[in-house]
Amino acid sequence: MLKHVTRTHTCGQLRAEHIGTPVVLQGWVSAVRDRGGVAFAVLRDRFGSVQITVDERSTDAARAAVKGVRLEYVLQVEGTVQARAEGAVNNKMESGDIEVIATSIQILSRTQPLPFVLDDRGESALEETRLRNRFLDLRRPLLQHNLRVRHVAAQAARGFLNGTEFLEIETPVLTRATPEGARDYLVPSRVHPGSWYALPQSPQLFKQLLMVGGFDRYYQIARCFRDEDLRLDRQPEFTQIDIEISFPSRELVMEVAEGVANAMWEATLGEGVGTIPVLSYADAMDLYGVDAPDRRFEMTLHTLSALLHEATFPPVRSALDAGGVIRGFTVKGAAAGSSRKVLDAWTAFVKEYGLGGLMWGKVAAEGVISGPAAKAIPEEVREAVLAELGAEDGDVILLGAGELRHVNPGLGRLRVHIAKERDLIPEGTFAFCWVVDFPLFEKADDGSWTSVHHPFTAPRPEHIPLFGTDRMGEMLSDSYDLVCNGSEIGGGSIRIHDPVVQAQVFEALGISETEQQEKFGFLLNALSYGAPPHGGLAFGFDRCVMLLTGATSIRDVIAFPKTTSAQDLLSGAPARVPTKDLDDLHVRSTK
């Protein structure tokens, strides 16, 4: 225990067993009212709240001081804990059966008029207002709860990893730019004119170097940076639980990751994640259309191309003739409540993913179909199509036609959109799964190969002979993603430890030997000095905390977040700097 703490208890600590105890409390005033001879204030700190009562039992000084108290003033209160009168018990407060009779009230700090209400009703304020005044926003119970959960989850992850022979090791923040899928944030060097550091998108290369260095098991709760377009679950600076292991199997890395997830969920919610099923990438795409499936509800996708191979309806015919696919799914019981406005909105939704439209159909008695789907499905295969889709009277069927790369995400995202819209997702549930066996490469629009994960991901050993052949698109990687409720919360792979295989990957990606040495020479050099087999995984820690708290925005689980335009409204960053400072860095502004 600390010796020099002025307060004797926190505001959330006091209960009936403290009746008769003298106390010293410190906190903010979240409510105050004066009823003539009796005044009440609710004092709040991050641990909870307690009622302060000033009446005839209080000193004259306390009765005088309370008249100057206002909302969000900071007080130090001395008094004695007493039981509330039977009719005054407040069951909405954890300390609602007691009160503190004040003998001394000291105002430590006053406040200006508040720009918004500092309780969960503060969410009605514009987010811009709340972010500009984040120091006030952080006092709201919701954000205080979220950041407490974040702390507990981080400590639980550390506890598990510390208990399984991992070392926490920091890696550089000022490093060199390497291609990792997004733009780097760059920092000019003052002492090396014309040269730049990059902020790390991940500690990927350094954690591999730690394995070469013999550290065997590493972790770090690491700050990472990516200059990319933002959304509700993405920030320019974010946090990873970064893990790397020497001499692993894929199953060992997955076991460690499940241990971390179990530790976080048990510590914060009191219940672990259970056994996590494993899906192949091919099965995830086939069933759900996306590689991070939400498995809390049904509505799986079905391929109808073979059944509709003789269809003459133009959208179907043209898609099949062009080598595309016809896929669909069923929304159970949706026929009665799906107006044309709703169906048109679903059609507009899939167009955002490159689909030309949506063929919908309402199913009636005896398998009668109305809507565009009726034209798409020949009479002779109607029964078979409905059976494949599991569609019955009162259901809606939704079909998409086109290239697989558009049909899958269009229908896959629509599936989740409809589930949220129709309240089909059970609250408070967590559906985890592993997705494994991703393709090693995918074709870019210009026909070149790109890495599905990153260029240090190892291929499945049996696929190494396919390098340089026309079957490279069939190569699978030794990678794995951990998915929860449709969000990828962790991902990793077995790494390439053989410099020959690493060079083959670089060659397939069109990275010349000169560029390899320029960008990755230090890694390639290290791999030539007895690199052990190694692999790992990184958790998106902010996304994990979003799931644990039920937050709808990543900004609600980060103390000082950026906006979707990567601005810090509180500090005003990014901001211009004086020309002299730019001169010192040997750079010029074009604006």
Tally the residues of the chain. 591
In contact, 50 and 67? CB cutoff 8 Å: no
In contact, 440 and 451? CB cutoff 8 Å: yes
Chain-centroid distance of CA 215 in Å reads: 29
Structure tokens at 408: 């899958």
Low-confidence ranges of the chain (pLDDT < 70): 121-123, 179-181
Side chain identity at residue 226, one-letter code: R
The 10s digit of each residue's pLDDT in 319-330 is 999 999 999 999
How, if at all, do strands 196-198 and 359-363 pair? unpaired
Residue among 65, 39, 64, 69 nearest 51 (CA): 39
Strand order in the sheet with 487-494: 167-168, 217-225, 237-246, 534-540, 487-494, 479-484, 432-436, 278-280
**Residue 321 and residue 308: Cα distance in Å, rounded?**
12
Structure tokens at 508: 């397939």
**Residue 182 and residue 180: Cα distance in Å, rounded?**
6
**Residue 409 and residue 399: Cα distance in Å, rounded?**
13
Query: pTM higher than 0.85, yes or no?
Result: yes
Residue among 330, 310, 472, 497 nearest 414 (CA): 330
Residue among 73, 28, 35 nearest 54 (CA): 35
**Residue 188 and residue 587: Cα distance in Å, rounded?**
8
Q: So what's the pLDDT on residue 215?
A: 97
HEC states along 347-397?
HHHHHCCCCCCCEEEEECHHHCEECHHHHHCCHHHHHHHHHHHCCCCCCEE
Q: So what's the pLDDT on residue 62?
A: 97
Residue among 49, 53, 52, 51 nearest 12 (CA): 49
